[in-house]
């Protein structure tokens, strides 16, 4: 849920607010508070909140509650953030929307049915959004990482699982957050404007 506490991070010019992206009122509050903090309309949205099921069950063993929980954050959360951004981002150039999907949408590994499906929804929505923003100067792209050394990736995996997935990449390593951040950063710049309505898989050759 949204809180009334503002956390000031060590780097100047950054503020953070807690928010539940699956709740429309929280998302609106998040945008309101960001615009107030910087005394400026929003220019960029990076929608990257995500959850998974660390038990990696097959579809036959996935509960309705777990399915709904994953879609609530991954798909509904991205939708609510993109909807708010589409209505509020500055027009005329420099407006950027970047959603975060997963290379699992292409890899289609067993145990990731709900997660991959929720991220596939994000990819389709982002492509449609780019077309709907025609004439505004706002671009919308989706970055789809492969296995990346994050808390979400490591959850529920053994050391052998991690090694096996790292070896799949031709570069024989896991991605690092900075590998993904570099592409997200480019997508938010003026020189990245001509890349629009795309899903870019950043995974070292994983898929």
Determine contact, residues 146/207, Cβ cutoff 8 Å. Answer: yes
Buried b (16+ CB within 10 A) or exposed e, 104-132: bbbbeeebbbbbbbbbbbbbebbbebbee
Tell me, yes or no, if 112 is annotated catalytic: no
Alpha helices in the chain (DSSP H): 24-38, 64-71, 78-88, 104-107, 113-132, 151-154, 159-168, 177-187
Tell whether the torsion through CA atoms of 80, 86, 90 and 95 is positive or negative: positive
Sign of CA dihedral 199, 193, 93, 7: positive
**Set 115, 144, 180, 201: catalytic member:** 115
Pairing of strands 199-202, 96-100: unpaired
Q: Cα(17)–Cα(33) distance, rounded to whole angstroms?
A: 8
Q: What's the rounded Cα separation, in Å, for the pair 23 and 76?
A: 9
Q: What residues are annotated to the active site?
A: 115
């Amino acid at each position: 849920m949204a809180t009334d506490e503002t956390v000031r991070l060590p780097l100047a010019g950054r503020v953070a607010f807690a928010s539940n992206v699956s709740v429309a009122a929280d998302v609106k509050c998040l945008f309101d508070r960001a615009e107030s903090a910087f005394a400026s309309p929003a220019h960029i949205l990076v929608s990257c909140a995500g959850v998974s099921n660390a038990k990696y069950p097959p579809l036959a063993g996935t509960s309705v509650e777990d399915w709904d929980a994953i879609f609530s954050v991954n798909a509904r959360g991205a939708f609510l953030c993109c909807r708010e951004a589409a209505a509020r981002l500055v027009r005329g150039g420099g407006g950027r929307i970047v959603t975060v999907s997963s290379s699992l949408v292409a890899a289609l590994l067993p145990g990731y049915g709900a997660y991959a499906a929720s991220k596939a929804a994000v990819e389709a929505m982002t492509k449609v959004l780019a077309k709907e923003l025609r004439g505004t100067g706002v671009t919308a792209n989706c970055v789809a990482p492969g296995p990346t050394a994050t808390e979400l990736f490591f959850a529920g995996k053994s050391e052998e699982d991690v090694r096996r997935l790292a070896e799949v990449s031709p570069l024989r390593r896991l991605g690092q957050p900075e590998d993904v951040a570099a592409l997200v950063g480019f997508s938010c710049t003026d020189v990245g404007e001509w890349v629009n309505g795309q899903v870019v898989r950043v995974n070292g050759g994983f898929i």
